[in-house]
Chains A and B, each alone.
Chain A
C-alpha cells in the first residue's frame, strides 16, 4: 500500500545505485544541470462556462503522472476517461511511475513539468519545498468550483476537513491530498471474539487487557520497530487525545517546549510502560513492517499500530478467517478528546505545477477525480477511502476498510493530524530516532521529551527552515 513515510522507508533499494555516485564526493545527482528556467508562464485559458469553470481549452493536451504504488494507476485511467468524455479532442499522456523524483526533478528544474502529478511514494519530492518555491499552482479556483455529482456544493464543501487543512500552504490551497488514511491499533476481530477480548477504552483497562493477552501466550503489542514512525502514531494519539489539539498545534508550530507538554510526557511514559511490562513482542524494535505485520497476522501479537492501508498490504499474508479491524487508541486519565477519534491523514499529494502547460486542464482533471463518480471508483478499485465525503456509499467494502471508514466517521471533528514531518522534513528522522529509543526502553519518557525538544529547537533555529504556525 502507499506509504505514509516518504522520507524514511523503502527508499533505498532504488537509491542504492545513486549512492555510489553521490558518495564519490561529487554528488553526481546534480549533474542533470539544474538551473535553466524557462517554461510556460502565460495561462492558456479558453472561455469559462458553468461546465468548464476554469476555461479549459478543449483541444489542449493533458499530461498526467501517477505514482504507481499500492493504489496502482487504474483509478487514474478511469479519471482520464472522464476527462476524455468531456474534452474528446484533448490528447492525454498517462505515465505511471514509482521514481517520481528522479523523473520529475529535471522537468521541474527545466520548467516543463506535467499538468497533473501524483507526488507520492518513497521517492516523492519534498512537497513543502515545492510549495515554498512557488512551483505549485494555486488551487483556490478548484476549491471554490462546483463539485460534480453533489448538487449545489463547492468542491471544498465535499472534502474531509483534513484534505482542506493539508492542502494549504501560507493559507492558499496548493496540494490535493486524495486518499484518506486513519491510524489506530489493529487487531484480528476473529481472535478477539474467540478469546472474549474487547479493545479497551481507557489506558488502565488496556494494561489489564495486555496482561490477560500476555497470559494467553500472545504478545499484546507488536510494532514495526525498524521504522519508529508506526509506534509514534500511538504515542502522538495518546498525547493529543489527552491534551487536545493544542498539543499538536504547538508541535507543528515548533513552539517552545512543545514536546515537553505534560500530555506528551504522560504518553511517552505510557509507551515506556508497555515495554517495561513486557507487553511488546520480543525483538519487535528491530523488525521491519513485513516481519512485524506478518507476526501479527500469524497471531503472535494482538495489536499493531498502523494506518488503514494495512489490510490491503497484508492481503496475501493474512490467513483465512483473519478479520482486520481497527480500534481507537485508549484514553489516559483526564483525556479531553473522546475515545472514538484518532489521526486522520490525507495522502497521495496531487499537484498542478505552476509552470504546467495546461493548468486549467490539470484542475479540471482534479475536479473529475473529486466528482462523486470519480471518488467512488477510487474506493472501488483500491479499497481505500478518498477525501470526498460520502463517496463510499453503496461501495462494497472489506471488513478492515469498513471499520476504518466508520472510525473516521465516528471521529468527525475530533480527528486530528500533524504536519511537522512534512513541513520540517529534517525533523522527522530526528523525532523517529527518539521514539525508537523510547519504544525500545532505552530512554525514559522524560528523556524522550528532552531529546525530541532538542531536535525541534535545532530545526527552529535553522535560518533556512520556513516556519509555519497552526492554531
Chain B
C-alpha cells in the first residue's frame, strides 16, 4: 500500500521534474560549460579557454556600464513599485469614508483595480511601443505638448542620456504596480476586518494602521514581491531593446546586461562570452535573492 502511494506521488512529480531538468537545469549546465569556451554559437567547433571570458568581462566597459544600470534599476524599481502598490492597495481596501458600516474600501474599488491591472495584460513590447510614442521627443509629442501647454520646454525623454534611464524606470514601475496592487489587495482582504476595526477603536490613525498593522501582516507577500521585482530589474531586456534609442540608450544610458548577452551571443558570434555574462548574472541573481530573503526575514504572524 505504502509502496503504491510512493509510485503515485512519483508519477505526478516525474513529468514536471523531467521538463524542469530538460528546459531549466540542462541549459544552465550548458551555459556554465560554454562559458569556458570560445564557442561562436554557429559552429560545432570550439576550444576551451579557461576563465579568459570572465577576465575579459572585468575590462569590458560596456558590460560594466550595463551592470551599473542594472544596479540602479535593482535599487529603485522594487522599492518604488512596492510602496506605490501598497499605498494604492491600502487606499482601495480601507481608504473609504468610514461611515456607519465601519472600515471599507474606496468607492469604485473594482474599477481602479481593473485600471491598474491593465498594463499586465499587455505584452512588454506593446508597452514599450506605447510609451515610446507618448514620450515622442518632438515638440508635438504627447507629453511635450502637455509641457508646452503649461509653459515648459520640450524634453528629449528617451533620447536624452540624463533622462532615458528614468523613463525606463518609470515604465517598469508603471507596468508592475497593477499586478502587485492586485496581489497586495488580495492579501489584505484576507486580513480579518476586526483587526482594522480594533485598531480604529484604539484610536489608530489610517497611517498608523497602515504602518503597524497592514504592512507587518503582509510581510511575506512583500518579501516575495521584492525578489520577483529584483529579478525583473536585473532583466529589463525587452523594454530596453524595443523602447530605447540604439537600443541601449543614448550614450549607453539604458544599457543592461541582458542586452549585452543578447548582442554578444546572437549578433557578434561570441556565444561563449555571452554565456560567461549569463553565468555572472546567474550568480548575481541568486546572491541578491538569497540576501533579500535573509535580510527581510521576520517572525511569521499567524491570524
Residues on A lying within 8 angstroms of B by beta carbon are: 6-8, 11-13, 15-16, 18-31, 33-38, 101, 105, 108-111, 125-126, 128-130, 133, 135, 225-228, 281-288, 291, 295, 425-426, 429-430, 432-433, 436-437, 440, 442, 458, 462, 464
Closest chain A CB from B289 CB (angstroms): 11
Let me know if A286 and B242 touch, CB within 8 A: no
Chain A interface: which of B3-11, B74-82, B184-192, B275-283? B275-283
The chain B residue with its CB closest to the CB of A106 is B42
Give the residue of A31, A34, A433 whose beta carbon is less than 8 angstroms from that of B39: A34
Residues on B lying within 8 angstroms of A by beta carbon are: 23-24, 26-28, 30-31, 34, 38-46, 56, 61-62, 123-125, 132, 136-139, 141, 144, 154, 156-161, 234-235, 237-238, 241-242, 245-248, 250-252, 257-258, 261-271, 273-275, 277-279, 281-286
Give the residue of B161, B242, B252, B269 whose beta carbon is less than 8 angstroms from that of A442: B161
Instruction: Please report whether the interface of chain A is mostly helix, strand, loop or mixed according to DSSP.
Output: helix
Let me know if B266 and A15 touch, CB within 8 A: yes
Q: CA separation between A7 and B265, bound complex, in Å?
A: 11
Give the residue of A18, A38, A135, A440 whose beta carbon is less than 8 angstroms from that of B43: A135
Let me know if A31 and B23 touch, CB within 8 A: yes
Q: CA separation between A430 and B266, bound complex, in Å?
A: 16
- The residues of B that contact A228 with a CB separation of less than 8 Å are 246
Instruction: Please report whether the interface of chain B is mostly helix, strand, loop or mixed according to DSSP.
Output: helix
Give the residue of B43, B62, B257, B266 whose beta carbon is less than 8 angstroms from that of A109: B43
A13, A36, A105 pick with most chain B CB within 10 angstroms = A13
B124, B250, B265, B286 pick with most chain A CB within 10 angstroms = B250
Known contacts A12-B125, A31-B27, A433-B246; decide if A283 and B159 are in contact (CB<8 Å).
yes
Let me know if A18 and B245 touch, CB within 8 A: no
A20, A33, A462 pick with most chain B CB within 10 angstroms = A20
Let me know if A27 and B265 touch, CB within 8 A: yes
The chain A residue with its CB closest to the CB of B160 is A286
- The residues of A that contact B24 with a CB separation of less than 8 Å are 26, 28
Give the residue of B136, B269, B279 whose beta carbon is less than 8 angstroms from that of A425: B269
Q: CA separation between A465 and B282, bound complex, in Å?
A: 26
Give the residue of A12, A282, A288, A426 whose beta carbon is less than 8 angstroms from that of B139: A282
Closest chain B CB from A435 CB (angstroms): 11
Let me know if B248 and A130 touch, CB within 8 A: no
Q: CA separation between A110 and B43, bound complex, in Å?
A: 8
Give the residue of B34, B45, B268 whose beta carbon is less than 8 angstroms from that of A30: B34
The chain A residue with its CB closest to the CB of B267 is A7
Let me know if B268 and A283 touch, CB within 8 A: no
The chain A residue with its CB closest to the CB of B62 is A430
The chain B residue with its CB closest to the CB of A427 is B268
